[in-house]
Structure 1
Amino acid sequence: MTGDLVADTALVRLDRSALSEAKSILFHAYRHEPTFQYLFDSSRPGYDQRVRATIREGLELHFAHDQDALGLVDEDTLVAVAFIGSPEARFSLADQLNWRIRMMLTAGLSSTKRYIDYHEQVHACLPKDTHHHLPFIGVHPKYQSKGYGRMLMQVIEGICRESPLSSGIGLDTGNARYLRFYLGLGYEKVGEVRLGNVTETVLFKPCH
């Protein structure tokens, strides 16, 4: 994290007014990810629509449960976002009836089932105590490789350290480049989930 980035970048707490920008950043962050390509079958027509629907419904569920959403703004442009699950929010997607109905109507039944199964397998790898988790994080395509992801992770870890309820942060990735990034930040592998030909690595970092 350089001095210039600190000087020029503002941390903001996001609300629903930032949904459009946040969804655009996350769509570009996830549409080429091996995990999403498997879960939402990139070989079939309508893949982009299914990815957009999943991100939209995920963010709506996030705000409905009053979870933290953070962004980095550089010269009035939202350049990075992170949606953080609190230690208290340990709900199962399978139990979210309204979310499931909307997902089945927009992403399809098979994609919804795959997504729920993936979500449950990831959480089964993580510690059973209370901790933060990171369902969505992304950096605007034009601003990647400038340190914004690292900066955002430092902020998230600071939130974790301030919480007496949290033992750490759990996350997962099927991207080898991002895996190296998280390992470099001190995250440790706690499990793997097989998704077709994709290996999803589940990671955890204690914050106390």
Structure 2
Amino acid sequence: MPDTVAEVRLLDSGYSREVRSLLYHAYRHEPTFAYLFDADRPGFDQRVRATVRELVNRHFLEDLPAIGLLIEERLVGVALIAPPQRRLDITESWAWRMRMLLTTGLGCTRRYLDYHAAVLGCLPPGPYHILPLLGVHPEFQGKRLGERLLDALHAWCAEDGGSQGLVLDTGNARYLEFYQRHGYQELGEVALGPIREHVLFHPNPRPEASLAGGG
């Protein structure tokens, strides 16, 4: 089957509603979110939806970059990007924390903040881009769109000479091999109850000059 043709586009806040819907559908069955937001307790879907809404709204309010994949103007894949110098802004916002408390409760908010801090704790010193959220809509998975999205992300981040690469994390074992196959290296592992969250790093290409021999 030929690859599905998708357009890569840098998104602005006008796509906020579509981004929230896509990421909700992408994350509602993820094991990490099932643990963080207590899937066995009533209201889980609402907590996931509220969390995605607050993260996406804050992302665009901070004017942070987002890359989307579109097929015939429908958003089918998206990645939110936190540049090195601004990667902590969202969870340090008291307004964001208060909205999370009101929509997901104290326990889930605390669990999310602990998870976020543990992931950042795996990073060595240095400037990196971080992906807070990324996903392909479930209706469009299995069409190599995840690879298309990663290729676009790697190319975009490589243009920033002040960044060493791209960091993401996953608690879904079936994605781990996929990321490793695309050049990601494991930086560390975070225990989230029964979930093992893997923190992964994709280095930016080294400048051509560094490939030349010295002497």
Q: TM-score range by the shorter chain?
A: over 0.9
Structure 1 SS opposite 2:151 = helix
C-alpha deviation, 1:93, in angstroms: 5.1
Letter of the 1:116 counterpart: L
Which runs of no fewer than 5 residues in structure 2 stay unpaired? 206-215
- What pairs with 1:6-155 in structure 2 (closer than 5 Å)? 8-91=5-88, 94-155=91-152
Structure 2 SS opposite 1:99 = helix
Return the index of the structure with the highest Cα Rg.
2
Q: Pick closer, same or farther for the CA change 1:95–1:9 going to 2, 3 Å.
A: closer
Distance 1:27 1:128 in 2: 32
For normalisation by structure 1, the TM-score amounts to 0.94
Distance 1:120 1:12 in 2: 30
C-alpha deviation, 1:50, in angstroms: 0.5
Structure 1 SS opposite 2:100 = helix
Maintained 8 Å contact 1:93/1:116: no
Alignment counterpart, residue 193 of structure 2, candidates 187, 192, 196: 196
Deviation string, structure 1 residues 31-86 (Cα, Å, up to 9, x no partner): 11111000000011110010011101101121122211111111222111111111
Among all aligned residue pairs of Structure 1 and Structure 2, give the percentage whose two residues are the same amino acid: 50
1:167 aligns with 2:192: no
Q: Pick closer, same or farther for the CA change 1:21–1:90 going to 2, 3 Å.
A: closer
Which runs of no fewer than 5 residues in structure 1 stay unpaired? none
Distance 2:32 2:89 in 1: 19
The residue aligned with 2:179 is 182
Aligned residues: 204
The residue aligned with 1:205 is 202
C-alpha deviation, 1:165, in angstroms: 1.1
Superposed CA RMSD: 1.3
Distance 1:93 1:136 in 2: 13
Distance 1:121 1:150 in 2: 27
Structure 2 SS opposite 1:205 = strand
For normalisation by structure 2, the TM-score amounts to 0.91
Q: Pick closer, same or farther for the CA change 1:162–1:106 going to 2, 3 Å.
A: same
Deviation >2 Å, runs of 4+: 92-95
Maintained 8 Å contact 1:173/1:201: yes
Distance 1:54 1:193 in 2: 20
